[in-house]
């Protein structure tokens, strides 16, 4: 739904359904009017009544809805009295449209268009009615339609001669009317074919339309059985064909290095920072400040506010630089925008910020994240951890949706990914506060591998800041590791050599080695580091047989963080140390 093809299909279907319903209404009215002089008057009256109902809903319900939104404090639910009246308005709209001699579905449809989308009113209506509609009424409708299907009619070969031919002809024309214009607009053939299958597919709305015709006796039982069967067959065929023809993840496949390690040290660093809550922005701001943008190494930040889709049907990606208007989305993002504007002002000329808001369902949010990172050539995506702590160090939020988003991004990202575990809210102990240095203390836990090298590359950029102290701790096994990849060992040694050389010229870089025999000793040393640093950077992936992590993999409850990140994200830790778990870009083989 969040892919380019999905957005195109949603927009196309909305326009198509709008014009088809409008054309069907006008055609039905004219057809009735041509039958007799009396029915002509009735048809004109019905048409005028429909226009009157539309104007009534637009000029009464719309202003009242805006008034309700204005009276509702930000972040508070809408008064249940207003929700009750909105439900009553739905019933009144059905009665008015039905008495006008038109399909009763037009009333709620028009009412839904005039009520503002998103919170607080639109999202509250969805929360109150979605379970009833999607969980009970829609399944009952489908079940009722299925019960009215006569399977014997499906084997009536005489009837097949014209019903199935008409169905096949109509579907073919509809498919061609989408496929050919898409090709003319230079859409790739596979994508055009997938789009045509999506637009040809039918669902609950069409089944309710067929059922309404049966009730009005304009369609007999045999025809209804055939049409219902065609809906099921086309839905199954479209699902299979679209899945075969279109894979939205293929555009994210990285065949070129798009990470921090392989970027030039003086080139512009592009980061995509994602946030669900205002707290996420505050934590990300600390990382961005530590990145220390300068004219020799500028920083470009693309901030993405992730808002769960509620109270509207289609997802939307708002670009605040283009002045796109979406009242609810912009209002909720304004405080976050101000934080990034302040960051850009602080590093004027060295940093640039660009703000976006994505309103989508949680299961599709990773598509917006990966797509934006791909389009903006980002080197790293910074994601917030799915847990939040209060000042006492207790977990106050554990979001399964956010964890799923992070896992999906790790699998599909076109660049490197960092998961930020932010504990800055936790109060320091008095003994720690008195000894607190003005320097921002950063440590890199290094054991070798792609992810550790990526974390170290980012830390090297941070070390340019005069207000930052970088400590690189390399964990070395007492035993000689004969299973270590020789090329990885060469790359690790080269990177660490650069750090040691920098440390000879910069007083804010410290390098040390710790020899350990297993994961238990590693854990003891890392836990001792928690009190000394503000930020610990670790790699996500390591070899399963790595001696330094022996015994830790079995206790890994959060695979998306790796064994070291999982240990530092433990609920028992109540110190204000933040953690950045880094995964280097996964480069696909051509």
pLDDT, tens digit, 9 for 90 and up, residues 149-183: 877 766 665 555 677 788 888 889 989 999 999 99
Q: Could you tell me which residue, 484 or 70, shows the higher pLDDT?
A: 70
Percent of the chain at pLDDT > 70 equals: 86
Domain interval for residue 320: 250-415
Q: 225 and 260 share a domain? A: no
Mean pLDDT, residues 297-308 taken together: 92
Which of 2-11, 87-96, 484-493 ranks highest by mean pLDDT?
87-96
Q: 256 and 239 share a domain? A: no
- Cβ burial, residue 254 (10 Å; 0-12/13-18/19+): middle
Q: 330 and 461 share a domain? A: no
Q: What is the pLDDT of residue 317?
A: 85
Cβ–Cβ under 8 Å, residues 511 and 482: no
Q: What is the pLDDT of residue 37?
A: 53
Last residue of a domain, one of 197, 216, 248: 248
Planar angle of CA 420, 426, 432, nearest 5 degrees = 110
The two tokens of residue 129 are 């009615």
Q: What is the pLDDT of residue 315?
A: 79
Residue 167 belongs to a domain: yes
Mean pLDDT, residues 196-224 taken together: 81
Sheet strands (E) in 191-348: 269-275, 299-308, 316-319
DSSP 559: G
Nearest CA-CA partner of 307 in 479, 176, 118: 118
- Cβ burial, residue 590 (10 Å; 0-12/13-18/19+): exposed
Residue 521 belongs to a domain: yes
What is the count of structural domains for the chain?
3
Q: 54 and 163 share a domain? A: yes
Q: Tens digit of pLDDT for each residue in 533-578?
A: 999 999 999 988 888 888 888 888 899 999 999 999 886 677 778 9
Dihedral, CA of residue 44, residue 47, residue 50 and residue 55, to nearest 10: -90
| Confidence (pTM) | 0.79
Residue 326 belongs to a domain: yes
Using pLDDT thresholds of 50, 70 and 90, give the confidence band for residue 109. Answer: confident
Cβ–Cβ under 8 Å, residues 223 and 33: no
Q: 205 and 293 share a domain? A: no
What sections of 381-485 are H helices per DSSP?
400-412, 430-434, 450-462
Torsion-angle region of 349 (φ positive above 0: left; ψ -120 to 50: alpha; else: beta): left
Residue 51 belongs to a domain: yes
Q: Tens digit of pLDDT for each residue in 341-376?
A: 999 999 988 999 999 998 888 888 998 999 999 999
Q: 510 and 562 share a domain? A: yes
Query: In whole angstroms, what is the distance from residue 276 CA to residue 240 CA?
Result: 34
Residue 588 belongs to a domain: no
CATH number, domain of 351, equals 3.40.50.620
Using pLDDT thresholds of 50, 70 and 90, give the confidence band for residue 16. Answer: confident
Last residue of a domain, one of 248, 278, 301: 248
Nearest CA-CA partner of 578 in 441, 462, 457, 463: 441
Q: 483 and 345 share a domain? A: no
Q: 169 and 254 share a domain? A: no
The two tokens of residue 182 are 């898409």
Q: 222 and 275 share a domain? A: no
Residue 420 belongs to a domain: no
**pLDDT of residue 88 exceeding 80:** yes
Cβ–Cβ under 8 Å, residues 47 and 98: no
Cβ–Cβ under 8 Å, residues 517 and 477: yes
Residue 195 belongs to a domain: yes
Q: 237 and 263 share a domain? A: no
**pLDDT of residue 303 exceeding 90:** yes
Between 270-284, 516-530, 541-555, the lowest mean confidence (pLDDT) is in 541-555
Q: 25 and 145 share a domain? A: yes
Last residue of a domain, one of 415, 443, 459: 415
Residue 586 belongs to a domain: no
Q: 442 and 571 share a domain? A: yes
Torsion-angle region of 449 (φ positive above 0: left; ψ -120 to 50: alpha; else: beta): left
Cα 56 to Cα 59, 87, 255, distances in angstroms:
5, 17, 57
């Amino acid at each position: 739904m969040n892919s380019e093809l999905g957005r195109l299909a949603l927009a196309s279907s909305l326009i198509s359904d709008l014009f088809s319903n409008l054309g069907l209404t006008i055609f039905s009215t004219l057809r009735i009017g041509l039958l007799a002089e009396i029915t002509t008057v009735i048809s004109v009256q019905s048409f005028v009544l429909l226009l009157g109902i539309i104007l009534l809903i637009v000029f009464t319900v719309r202003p009242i809805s805006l008034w309700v939104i204005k009276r509702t404090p930000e972040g508070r639910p809408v008064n249940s009295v207003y929700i009750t009246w909105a439900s009553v308005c739905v019933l009144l709209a059905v009665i008015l449209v039905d008495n006008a001699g038109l399909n009763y579905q037009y009333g709620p449809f028009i009412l839904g268009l005039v009520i503002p989308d998103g919170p607080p009113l639109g999202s509250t209506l969805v929360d109150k009615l979605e379970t009833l509609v999607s969980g009970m009424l829609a399944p009952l409708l489908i079940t009722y339609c299925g019960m009215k299907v006569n399977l014997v009619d499906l084997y009536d070969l005489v009837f097949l001669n014209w019903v199935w031919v008409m169905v096949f002809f109509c579907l073919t024309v509809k498919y061609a009317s989408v496929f050919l214009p898409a090709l003319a607009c230079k859409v790739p053939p596979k994508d055009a074919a997938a789009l045509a299958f999506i637009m040809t597919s039918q669902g609950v709305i069409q089944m309710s339309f067929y059922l309404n015709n049966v009730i009005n006796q304009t369609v007999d039982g045999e025809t209804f059985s055939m049409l219902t069967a065609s809906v099921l067959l086309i839905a199954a065929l479209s699902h299979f064909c679209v899945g075969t023809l279109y894979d939205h993840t293929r555009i994210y496949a990285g065949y070129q290095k798009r990470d921090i390690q392989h970027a030039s040290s003086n080139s512009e660093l592009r980061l995509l920072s994602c946030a669900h809550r205002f707290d996420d922005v505050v934590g990300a701001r600390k990382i961005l400040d530590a990145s220390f943008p300068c004219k020799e190494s500028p920083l470009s930040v693309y901030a993405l506010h992730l808002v769960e889709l509620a109270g509207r049907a289609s997802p939307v990606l708002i670009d605040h630089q283009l002045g796109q208007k979406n009242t609810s989305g912009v209002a909720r993002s304004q405080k976050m925008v101000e934080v990034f504007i302040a960051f850009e002002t602080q590093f004027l000329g060295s940093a640039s910020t660009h703000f976006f808001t994505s309103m989508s369902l949680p299961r599709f949010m990773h598509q917006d994240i990966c797509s934006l990172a791909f389009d903006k050539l980002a080197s790293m995506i910074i994601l917030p951890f799915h847990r939040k702590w209060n000042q006492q160090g207790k977990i106050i939020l554990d979001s399964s949706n956010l964890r799923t988003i992070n896992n999906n991004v790790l699998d599909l990202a076109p660049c490197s990914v960092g998961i930020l575990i932010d504990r800055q809210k936790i109060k320091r102990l008095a003994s720690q506060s008195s000894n607190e240095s003005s320097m921002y203390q950063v440590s890199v836990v290094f054991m070798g591998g792609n992810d550790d090298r990526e974390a170290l590359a980012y830390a090297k950029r941070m070390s340019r800041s005069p207000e930052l102290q970088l400590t690189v701790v390399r964990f070395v096994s007492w035993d000689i590791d004969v299973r270590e990849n020789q090329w990885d060992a060469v790359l690790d040694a080269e990177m660490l050599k650069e750090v040691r050389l920098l440390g000879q010229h910069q007083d804010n870089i410290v390098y040390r080695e710790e020899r350990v025999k297993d994961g238990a000793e590693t854990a003891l040393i890392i836990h001792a580091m928690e009190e000394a640093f503000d930020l610990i950077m670790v790699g996500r992936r390591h070899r399963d047989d790595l001696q330094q992590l022996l015994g830790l993999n079995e206790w890994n409850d959060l695979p998306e963080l790796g064994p070291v990140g999982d240990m530092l994200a433990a609920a028992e830790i109540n110190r204000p140390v933040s953690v950045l778990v880094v995964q280097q870009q996964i480069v696909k083989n051509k």
